[in-house]
Chains A and B, each alone.
Chain A
Amino acid sequence: MGQRIDVKDLNIYYGDFLAVENVNIEIEPNKVTAFIGPSGCGKSTVLRTLDRMHEIIPGAHVKGEVLLEGRNLYAKDVDPVEVRRDVGMVFQRPNPFPTMSIRENVLAGVKLNNRKINKSDADDLVEWALRGANLWNEVKDRLDNPGVGLSGGQQQRLCIARAVAVHPQVLLMDEPCSALDPISTLAVEDLINELKKEYTIVIVTHNMQQAARIADYTAFFNLKAVGQPGHLTYFADTTTMFNNPQNEEAERYISGRFG
């Protein structure tokens, strides 16, 4: 089951540069929350702080709290490696490990956690994860083929299978459809709808229609000017956000995009 995330007074830095300022947001469990906003507003940056991937860039750090089911991910005794196991992530472009087969890609995360897995358990898990990613029927006969041999959309779903195989509580998606064609995009969107039964999902998207289609809640990020920190401008349930936004900037952004 998904877990809730509470972000409290979060400031995100690259070195001395304050990239995103004072974020407060409550992300509901088993719902899809979308982050939208203009380029450079920091929505991907905020997403990456939720599984501590932000800090792999030298000098990058945060101030504030991210609570996963009440536990502060940035507390001193928390190991980022364990955070990333509990919070899965899917990236902008599909990135299966090129030297691994489809099966090995799905099992990559699990094998890190646990060396001794017997074959039938592993087989079950591969089937479960690939079914979960809606890919099983397409690849079940060629599990030992390299993962990079699949089409772009299939690769992205393979990456989702790889992420869910570790059985995280939260799934973060950073523009997962931006490199996909419309049909693959539709497949992934259907999948997201399916996945929210099991996981809390946070998705960054450039595509306003996509946010409207799949999200339960939408957060609008903006920045005053280039070089200024980004911030969370408006957060509402998706229906309000797109039909009756109570925020002028968000309304301008949304209506601008819709023409």
Chain B
Amino acid sequence: MSTVEQSPMDKAPVIDFDKFKPSRSHTAARKRKDFAMGLLIGLAFIVALIPLISLLWTTISNGMKRLNLNFLSYNMSGVIGGKPTPSGGYGGILHAIIGTLEITLGAMVISVPIGLMCAVYLVEYSNRSGLAKSVSLLVDVMSGIPSIVAGLFAFSMFTIIAGPGTINGFEGSVALSLLMIPTVVKSSEEMLKVVPNDLREASYALGVTKQRTITKIVLRTALPGIVSGVILAIARVIGETAPLLMTAGYIATTNMNLFSGQMTTLPVYAYQQYSTLSVTCPASAGPSCVTSIPMERAWAAALMLILIVLLLNLIGRIVAKVFAVKTER
């Protein structure tokens, strides 16, 4: 056990460790810095909370004023200036809610099959080929397309295919689906990857074809996650404004036809009311005429929009949590 050969330390330089001893003041400075950084990091969070609370608070408190049954059940036809309508309200968002639902539904019908099948391709068929890598990279890039560019694309496409000046709800759906597809692909891809390989192999071993394995086993297992991903994707595009401004337009009346004529959506409605700022009331109009009604309508529409978005988020999360596939961690 004893070391016969000379120790490697014999040649080592002699070190005066006092030189490296921390000075008292330096130790204190380190402690102060540690504390200060902790404080700053905690502060960063509070800084982020301020806008969130302020935003939610103003939307709720301003929106509550006009968000009532009358507001939800009438459109803007027959609304003149700040005067009340015969129904006793000041116009409403019925047409905008219908427009939002139809256009979003249209976007969903386009993007869910494409997005889902693209995810199936990436996970089940690609074998990590070069094509798959570029598809995967471009899906990522696509998720970064500015929404206004998506609007311009849909607008250009419809101008070229259906003639200049075409504006309808479906055009909006196309624009939104461009924004929605990458989100659907990403979330579905994650969910398909989580499905354990044993399930696939067990199915193949029984002689089941690949197509049936995927539809009956893999997609069935991943369904809750996919549904939740789709709901979250909808929540993301339902608040889009800019692309709809140029593709779906803005009208006062209810348009039920997705494929013809302009269609108002909730975010566009809120924006248009915000741009109107205020209306003038003639002297004869009396106290029931409200000059600030456009802004009040904008807040009410905004509150409605937030409620829809948060509800969708909540449903998406609950679906993901409650129906989640139990996999071993």
Q: B3 touching A113 by the CB < 8 A rule?
A: no
Task: Please judge, given known A-B contacts A193-B3, A194-B7, A194-B9, whether A128 and B15 are in contact too, CB under 8 Å.
Answer: yes
CA distance A114 to B11 in the complex (A): 26
Q: Which of A114, A125, A128, A194 contacts B23 (CB 8 A)?
A: A114
Q: How far is the CA of A79 from the CA of B28 in the complex (A)?
A: 11
Q: Identify the closest chain A residue to B29 (Cβ).
A: A115
Contact A114 B12 (CB under 8 A): no
In the complex, whether A97 has a CB less than 8 A from a CB of chain B is no
Please tell me the number of chain B residues within 8 Å of chain A, measured between CB atoms.
19
Contact A193 B1 (CB under 8 A): yes
- B26 in contact (CB, < 8 A): yes
Count of CB-CB pairs between chains A and B under 8 Å? 53
Contact-size category for A: 20 to 34
A131 on the interface (CB 8 Å rule)?
A: yes
Q: Does B197 contact A (CB under 8 A)?
A: no
Inter-chain contacts of B26 with A (CB < 8 A)? 113-115
| B13 interface contact, C-beta 8 A | yes
Asked if B128 lies at the interface with its beta carbon under 8 angstroms from chain A, I say: no
- Beta-carbon contacts of B259-299 to A below 8 Å, as 1s and 0s? 00000000000000000000000000000000000000000
- Interface assignment of B19: CB less than 8 Å from any CB of chain A: yes
Distance (whole angstroms) from the CB of A8 to the closest CB of chain B: 28
B20 interface hit (Cβ, 8 Å): yes
Q: Say whether, besides A124-B13, A127-B13, A112 and B20 are in contact (CB < 8 Å).
A: no
- New A-B pairs, 11, CB < 8 Å, besides A128-B12, A194-B3: A117-B19, A117-B20, A121-B19, A121-B20, A124-B15, A125-B15, A125-B20, A131-B11, A167-B20, A190-B3, A194-B8
**Residue contacts A-B, CB under 8 angstroms, 12 given:** A82-B27, A112-B30, A113-B22, A113-B26, A125-B15, A127-B13, A131-B8, A132-B8, A166-B20, A167-B17, A190-B3, A194-B8
